[in-house]
Amino acid sequence: MKQPSLGIKIAGLRKAKGITQEDLVERCNLNVRTLQRIEAGEVQPRSHTIKALFEALGHSWEEESIKANSEILSPVFIYLAMASGIIYFFLAYFDIAMEIEWMETDEKMVSYPLVLIKVFTFLTYTGFLLGWLALEKHFPNFILRIALWVMIGSNLIWYCFDLFAIFSPQLSMESYYLVKVMGFGAAYAFLGAGYLGYGEPWGTITKVIGALGLVAGIFLFSGFAVILGLIPLTLFELGQIALMVWGIKSLKT
């Protein structure tokens, strides 16, 4: 069972039996603050903690385990999302290099390789972000959820602009390129802020990754420090993939 349903369940069982939080933590070897955060849905406790709480409340742990397993997202989807993220990580550099080369040409012809790269870059990154949206349901983070949808929307808008500019002489990619970079910068900063909002069970690693995303977003949004922003951005993207690996392991426990 995931949060916040787990916290509501534990609080309901405790109150139904007339047990105080102080009494329950003594039976489970926890502290009151931890129990308060669990019941409030702020943290996702480990399996052995959940088991201890249910046993202390005289509730069937086996029954809840069966329910929990039915709720757990299949790791296969997350594996596919992670694979999409890895593919996107490499495609993005081809995308940037090819679009810059295309903008520098005097006579702009329709570049189907660039179109193909852009389509696959958009699809793989969207798949990666959808994987994170699935993980967010198990590790709730409202700011991150909104940031992920903002990033998906930003990608859709700017890739549509790019494709229209490639096929139509009425729109020049150079005319809005800086605005696009700044727009992505704002979206990355928002995404970084979302990861900064995580506490338990992720630990301090999300703070580091969130800070990298925030710094990268600020550099990109500035418009004049884009090159510097590529360093923290690369580390941020790799950090997201690493966190997804952790999320897959957590879904199995």
For residue 70, what pLDDT is reported?
43
For residue 67, what pLDDT is reported?
52
Q: Give the residue from 32, 50, 71 where a domain finishes.
A: 71
Could you tell me if 234 and 215 are in contact, meaning their C-beta atoms sit under 8 angstroms apart? Answer: no
Domain count, the chain: 2
CATH number of the domain that residue 62 is part of: 1.10.260.40
Tokens representing 218 are 């600020």
Are 106 and 224 members of one domain?
yes
Are 143 and 99 members of one domain?
yes
Are 201 and 172 members of one domain?
yes
For residue 66, what pLDDT is reported?
43
For residue 147, what pLDDT is reported?
96
Q: Give the residue from 71, 105, 121 where a domain finishes.
A: 71
Which ranges of the chain have pLDDT less than 50?
Answer: 66, 69-72
Give me the long-range contacts of 206-211 (CB less than 8 A, separation at least 24). 206/243, 208/239, 209/236, 209/239, 209/240, 209/243
For residue 31, what pLDDT is reported?
85
Are 83 and 64 members of one domain?
no
Q: Indicate the DSSP class of residue 72.
A: S
Query: Which domain does 116 fall in, by range?
Result: 75-252
Q: Give the residue from 22, 42, 71 where a domain finishes.
A: 71
For residue 63, what pLDDT is reported?
52
Are 82 and 51 members of one domain?
no
Are 217 and 115 members of one domain?
yes
Are 12 and 123 members of one domain?
no
For residue 69, what pLDDT is reported?
46
For residue 28, what pLDDT is reported?
84
Are 62 and 91 members of one domain?
no
Are 165 and 81 members of one domain?
yes
For residue 130, what pLDDT is reported?
95
Are 85 and 63 members of one domain?
no
pLDDT digits (tens, 9 = 90+) for 89-123: 999 999 999 999 999 988 778 899 999 999 999 99
For residue 57, what pLDDT is reported?
85
Give me the long-range contacts of 170-174 (CB less than 8 A, separation at least 24). 173/99, 173/102, 173/103, 174/103
Are 96 and 218 members of one domain?
yes
Q: Is the pTM of this model over 0.85?
A: no
